Amino acid sequence: MYDLIFRVSYIVGLVIGSGIRVWYARRYRQKRASIFREEGFLVGLLASLWGIAILLPLLSTFTSWLDFADYQLPVWAGFAGIVVFAGALWLLWRSHADLGRNWSATAEIKESHRLVTGGVFRHIRHPMYAAHWLWGIGQALLIPNWIAGLSSLVIFIPLYLLRVPREERVMIEHFGDEYREYMKQTGRVLPRLR
């Protein structure tokens, strides 16, 4: 019974998270195809695989194909997964809302781009990446399957390691000392403890 509750929670969260991303992509006319052109083949490939990583739990939930990779977790871990996943969704929404027109699917500076340091950006520089870390952890807790549960983290970790240094270089090139000072005041994906 609990397994069904946790899997349904993931699916509901998947729909909400996808809705957030689609709404902001349409609102600010973002096209994922530009990732290949702007970021390079490897990052584009990893970004494309993200779709597979979030859909594998659906395959695990609605078929028995991945049952061989199931593992057991205590019930409290599933409830923790709901809380973590809800935090991921809130942070994903809030970071899109705080960025507004400054959001881009690629590491690019637009003509009217400004450095956003308010809202969730007051505490962390990369709240969308923090949201994806939380998403991956929540997914692993909600979908106890070595393939479907861990797929988001397996895809996200190399994507994160490739993109964040490049994004920070772009921001330093454009905003210079203003961004360097911002880096000193904030954590990358966790709030900096003072």
Question: pLDDT of 64-94, one tens digit each?
Answer: 999 999 999 999 999 999 999 999 999 999 9
Number of domains making up the chain: 1
Would residue 194 count as lying in a domain?
no
70 forms beta bridges with 145
More confident residue, 120 or 21: 120
Mean pLDDT of the chain, nearest integer: 88
Verdict on whether the full-model pTM lies above 0.85: yes
Query: Which of helix, strand or coil describes residue 70?
Result: strand
Is residue 103 a part of any domain in this protein? yes
On whether residue 190 sits in a domain, the answer given is no
Q: Which of 132, 134, 131, 138 is nearest to 80 (CA)?
A: 138
Q: What is the pLDDT of residue 107?
A: 64
For residue 105, the domain's CATH number is 1.20.120.1630
Does the pLDDT at position 43 exceed 80?
Answer: no
User: How far apart (Å, rounded) are the C-alpha atoms in residues 168 and 184?
Assistant: 13
> Quick check: is 96 in a domain?
yes
In a domain? residue 193: no
* Distances, alpha carbon 35 to alpha carbons 31, 77, 79, 111, 163, in Å: 8, 35, 35, 18, 11
In a domain, 192, yes or no: no
If you average pLDDT over residues 102-131, what whole number do you get? 85
Q: Which domain holds residue 70?
A: 2-185
In a domain, 38, yes or no: yes
Residue 191 within a domain: no
Sign of the alpha-carbon dihedral angle for 146, 16, 129, 86 = negative
